[in-house]
Amino acid sequence: MITLEKQNKLNRLIENGVYYEYTKAADPLQSGAISTIPLTEFSSELHQTGHSRIIPLDVSEQLGCTGPATSPTLCANFVRILAEQTLSTNFNSTSLLFYVIHGKGHTVFDGLVIPWKTGDFVVLPMGEEIRHFATIDSVFYLVHDEPLLRYLGVKANKQRFKPTLYTCEDSLKELDKVKEEAGAVNRNRMSILLANKKMDQTLTVTHTLWAMLGVIPKDTKQLPHRHQSVALDLILDCEPGCYSLVGKKIDTNGEIINATRVNWKPYSVFITPPGFWHAHYNESASEAHLLPLQDAGLHTYLRTLDIQFITEPSFTN
């Protein structure tokens, strides 16, 4: 005979158990148990004025998760630092990347002083408080993976790579090489991927993050592609007439069905949800550049990226 005390202990062990019929729980996204990732835009006006601060691009309410978060695994931020001021960041993240939209200064990380200027990328592993000092008014686009760790309920405690600086001069030089290659204009994307020697399995900038610097020549179109990673796209320089079309499906000619148009604005950000087809257009008379950051390092390692490209007009979805 079971005692009341034992029964109470048993009840506590089983009280959170739930059972679902398979078809009602196998796809929580389709059933509405979890929300879709919104196609959202964040204006450059967020970082153009005001005091030194971190400005999270937060959609955690729509995602139904603890914030701030811009996707289930990443948080994108604008960081504004006024001249001769210092701003500290302290995220529980394994990977942090920032691109200097404009400005000049340095970052102190684990006693290391890392100089930066407009157009540079700085990539940092986990660490304690990071201090950023601006010699002139400066703005970053900063992405980290704290939402992933928050969901897992873990604390980052091991550095997977060394702090790395990708200078503006080096990245643009590499992008120029790509532009000069024969047939480059016919590729689905004309771009370079930032990578780290330690990430020899994923070929990405960190084990969770993926970063691309891309160019769209004047009066050209980059055909649709899709992937299961979330893209947090920073638009760099562009003229009116640059835009993206985004949608869930394509037709037999490789055109996006019922596409949403996202007009590009310099130094603004938009979210491209996972699995959505997206194509980029430059109908202006000048080159345009963009910087998508994604959680594709993680997806690549999990073998779930599922990236697909439109290369021929007879593609069947």
pLDDT at 190 over 60: yes
Q: Give the tens place of pLDDT for each residue, 65-96.
A: 999 999 999 999 999 999 999 999 999 999 99
The two three-digit tokens of residue 215, written as one number: 């160019």
Residue range 206-215: mean pLDDT, rounded: 97
Q: Per-residue pLDDT for 226 more than 50?
A: yes
Q: For residue 310, what pLDDT is reported?
A: 87
pLDDT in the model for residue 171: 98
The fraction of the chain above a pLDDT of 90, given in percent, is 84
Q: Which CATH architecture has domain 33-170+177-309?
A: Sandwich (2.60)
Given a cut of 80, is residue 317 above it in pLDDT? no
Q: Which residue has the higher pLDDT, 314 or 187?
A: 187
How confident is the model over 121-135, as pLDDT tens digits?
Answer: 999 999 988 999 999
pTM of the model: 0.93
Tell me the pLDDT tens digit for each residue of 246-296. Answer: 999 999 999 999 999 999 999 999 999 999 999 999 999 999 999 999 999
